[in-house]
Structure 1
Amino acid sequence: MELRQPKARLRSYHSVLFPGAVNSKFTSALSFAKPSELDAMPTYRILDQDGIIVDKDREPPDVSTSELLKMYRDMVTVSVMDTIMFDAQRQGRISFYMVSAGEEGIAVGSASSLSPKDPIFAQYRETGIFQYRGFTHHDFMAQLFATISDPGKGRNMPVHYGSRKYNIHTISSPLATQIPQASGAAYAVKLQNAMNPTDEPRVVACYFGEGAASEGDFHAALNIAATRSCPVIFICRNNGYAISTPTLEQYRGDGIASRGVGYGIETIRVDGNDILAVREVTRQARERALEGGGKPVLIEAMSYRVSHHSTSDDSFAYRAKVDVEEWKRRDNPITRLRKYLEARSLWDESQEKDLRSDARKSILEAYRKAEKEKKPALREMMNDVYETMTEEQVQQMEKMRATIERYPNEYDVSGYDGGLEGMRSSSAKA
């Protein structure tokens, strides 16, 4: 009797699909893939450096005049505040500060395309997101000066904002920790979207610099988001330097965008100095992130950090000042959008002077008020670690209180809410 093979085994060897790379075809040519032979991913833009639409065949971006003006005012306001607070740090008024110079368009432009309900995990150059979502100058100063009005109770160093009201998770200093947290949050959002189909679906937006993409957390986060199909938009600000490390010393591949493709994530590179391009890319990225129940998208926003990394950095120790000045003169997101507005008779020099004057006045008013406000009660340094203070914490606070009482001239606590009495824990008071 003739034996026959099952039909399932009649497939050609050449059609076998390995589970690890199901779209890979067989070849008899031995050839290594060389990155140098591949074209770099293009950088999407709408406006050129003169604020002119590059593609003459396309309609002007569908952005209302009020929205254009809001984005411009927000960028300028952040820039004015950066100048004031950078000087404040140099005068010893605050301990630390980081400016957004050259990168204002990435934060404001992307924020304009996100839903106010979308959770955000920021790094520390996303001041524009807080500004766009409604953070007041008083809110900024409360955090920078660690006053009793600071929701963080003065526990974070300056520029580490956070807001439950505006759905922005508190910024933390360790590099890249927010990226896997964003993937986890996006998985939770995915489940919530499925459980509440009548509600507006949400995505998570996560911001970081190209230096953070050198951390292991970045790779773990992208892989988790890809394999679990999490609705998260990863927005990388590639500004050329991770503190003092230029990109040539960070990687040899095609920027950060190539890594997204490697993890099976839809990816795009955009001109970060073109706020309209950033806005449009983020809008479409959000739509894609919600497709099919959810999936991650990576945006690499190209820019140049025209200021020092922070007030603790002197960037001229590792880059030429002439290069920085050339970037300032040649291109930045504020100037580019201003040219676009002026060409449409939506902005002029008089409005510019009024905006900068009003912004400076409002910021300085909040600045002076914050300087006079008291700091949070000293007990807040130990509150919220546990639901209630432990016996050991209460003892530590009492010992500290006794030390201050013994040496009042060495420890002035009058500037703290409640003064010396403010050191008593809630349980101790009870």
Structure 2
Amino acid sequence: MSNISKTNDQILDFDYQLKAQDDAFPTLKVLDNDGKIVDEKALERADLSDDDLINIFHNMLLNRQLDIRSTKLARQGRFGFFAPTAGQEASQMASAYAFHDEDWLFPGYRDIPEIVAKGWPIWKAILWSRGHVVGNEYTTDDGKEVNSWFPQIIIGAQYVEAAGVALGLKKRNKKAVSYAYTGDGGTSQGDFYEGMNFAAAYHANEVFFVQNNGFAISTPRKLQTAAPHLAAKGWAVGVPSLVVDGQDAIAVYLAAKEARAWAVSGKGPVLIETLTDRFEAHSTAGDDPLRYRTKEDIADWWKKDPLIRMRKYITDKGLWDEDKENDYIAQIDARIDEDIKKADNIDKQKISDYLKNTLEVPGYAMKEQIEKFESEGK
């Protein structure tokens, strides 16, 4: 009787419930800020070879250089919309490394690097940012299909789209999954819940990522929701959910790998919240982070730079050094230079092209407009 009373007391103890929520999601961590392993068993479970470690770090460096070069192009007026990614390299690239070519990626607009990691040419990413139709061709330079949806501009909508594909993969008995990314702001959207609920109800092959970078544009995470952990929202639909140190590439990879294995086995989706940060503005479209953040806050996060952490680890293992890094960055820059030239040399779209691409079957008025602009060479 006393045990029942104690349980009932806890059920009715709302302070206890809040504390229980906070305690329910410990953070998965393998690599600390100094590049030291804090969980040898987790490292062994990740089963990353030396080549894997180098490949992940290569992708993280590619991510950082894309951020640096894209920001410069945007300031020169040579880029379209761009959402900086500095600070999220482990969250993005280490997670993406756990998935396979046959898996379907559903990115948000900040997740261009994950598509590039799947083989999407950088020059097409540049064209996408400029609104050019060729930027919506998801093929490699040699014509191979890249299993990715377009970078979704509507916040959280990719969760619904990914859930549909995940169910399709399950019904076709495919050993593949769809995986979708959104930010902490995306969890405040109805599509976020609806996509997860649908995938959970049908035990679809899906892995959902929430990159908790602290701000939905200028709104801090604490003003978006009272939930102590965004991963708790996965529990609301019956989805296994976990919180990961998003600056720790090995922990992020391990979580993604295990989640993919669960989902591809037909057991249903998984939600992963990565605790990370965007060191820069929300986008290059006039956002000033110092209007809602402090220099001290940003400087503290730079000390947790995922590149520093991973660099220290692989350097201590004898796999990396400064010369190797400089050489690889030079390769990346040369690649980006070539892709910029290629994007710049693509034929500009005409007004008639935009109209033709708007509807599969244009209406009468649109046909007249197309004919008019074509006759004018526009």
Partner of residue 103, structure 2: 118
My pick for the range that moved more, 263-272 or 54-63, is 54-63
Contact 2:247–2:305 (Cα < 8 Å) also in 1: yes
User: Which residue number in structure 2 is paired with residue 219 of structure 1?
Assistant: 193
Tell me which of 137, 154, 167 is aligned to 2:147. Answer: 167
Would you tell me which structure has more helix in proportion to its own residues? 2
Equivalence for 1:106? 91
When residues 331 and 254 of structure 1 are mapped into structure 2, their CA distance, relative to the original with a 3 A threshold, is same
Q: Aligned in 2, Cα 1:349/1:45: closer, same or farther, shift over 3 Å?
A: same
Q: Which amino acid aligns with 1:378?
A: I
Deviations 1:112-152 (A, max 9, x none): 11121111111122233123212233333333345575345
Structure 1 residue 43, shift from structure 2 partner? 0.6
Decide whether the 8 Å contact of 2:111 with 2:151 is kept in 1.
no
Q: Residues 292-371 of structure 1: matches in 2 within 5 Å?
A: 293-312=266-285, 313-328=287-302, 330-371=303-344
1:374 is aligned to 2:356 = no
Aligned equivalent of 1:48: 32
- 1:264 aligned counterpart, secondary structure: coil
Aligned counterpart, 1:395: 368
Aligned residue pairs: how many? 365
Distance 1:164 1:216 in 2: 35
- The answer on whether the counterparts of 2:32 and 2:38 sit within 8 Å (CA) in structure 1 is yes
For residues 393 and 164 of structure 1, what CA distance do their matches in structure 2 show? 34
What is the identity, as a one-letter code, of the residue corresponding to 2:37?
I
Using the size of structure 2 for normalisation, the TM-score is 0.89
**C-alpha distance in structure 1 between counterparts of 2:199 and 2:49, whole Å:** 34
Which residue does 2:163 correspond to in 1?
Answer: 183
* 1:62-73 correspondence to structure 2 within 5 Å: 62-73=47-58
- In structure 2, the residue matched to 1:201 is 175
Q: Residue 283 in 1 paired to residue 257 in 2?
A: yes
Q: CA RMSD in A?
A: 2.5
CA distance in 1: counterparts of 2:316 and 2:97, whole angstroms: 22
Distance 1:188 1:342 in 2: 43
Shift of 1:216: 1.1
Equivalent residues in 2 for 1:246-285, closer than 5 Å: 246-285=220-259
Amino acid at match of 1:185: V
- Once the two structures are superposed, residues 264-285 of structure 1 have per-residue CA deviations (whole angstroms, 9 ceiling, x without a partner) of 1111111111111111111111
Q: Is contact 1:257-1:267 (8 Å) kept? A: yes
* CA distance in structure 1 between the partners assigned to 2:43 and 2:233 by the alignment: 32
**2:79 corresponds to which residue?**
94
Q: Which moved more, 1:166-175 or 1:386-395?
A: 386-395
Q: Give 1:31's aligned residue.
A: 12
Q: Could you say what secondary structure the match of 2:301 adopts?
A: helix
Cα distance in 2 between the residues matched to 1:266 and 1:133? 26
What TM-score comes out, normalization by structure 1 length?
0.79
In 1: Cα distance, 2:7 partner to 2:317 partner: 56
1:164-199 Cα shifts (integer Å, max 9, x gaps): 821100122111111112112211111011xxxxxx
Q: Deviations over 1:335-365 (max 9, x none)?
A: 1111111001100011111111221122123
Residues 27/70 of structure 1: CA separation in 2 closer, same or farther (3 Å cut): closer
Q: Give the % identical residues.
A: 30
The letter of the residue matching 1:205 is: Y
**What amino acid sits opposite 2:281 in the alignment?**
H
Asked if 2 retains the 8 angstrom alpha-carbon contact of 1:107 and 1:127, the reply is: no
User: Is the Cα contact below 8 Å between 1:237 and 1:303 reproduced in 2?
Assistant: yes
Amino acid at match of 2:312: K
Q: Distance in 1 between matches of 2:339 and 2:291?
A: 34
| Alignment partner, residue 76 of structure 1 | 61
Q: How does 1:10-29 map to 2 (within 5 A)?
A: 29=9
Name the CA shift for 1:321/1:226 in 2 (closer, same or farther; >3 Å).
same
Q: Is this contact kept in 2: 1:225–1:295, CA < 8 A?
A: yes
| Greater gyration radius | 1
Checking the alignment, whether the CA contact within 8 Å between 1:146 and 1:375 is kept in structure 2 is: no
Superposed displacement of residue 287, structure 1: 1.3
Shift of 1:244: 0.2
Higher alpha-carbon deviation: 137-146 or 78-87: 137-146
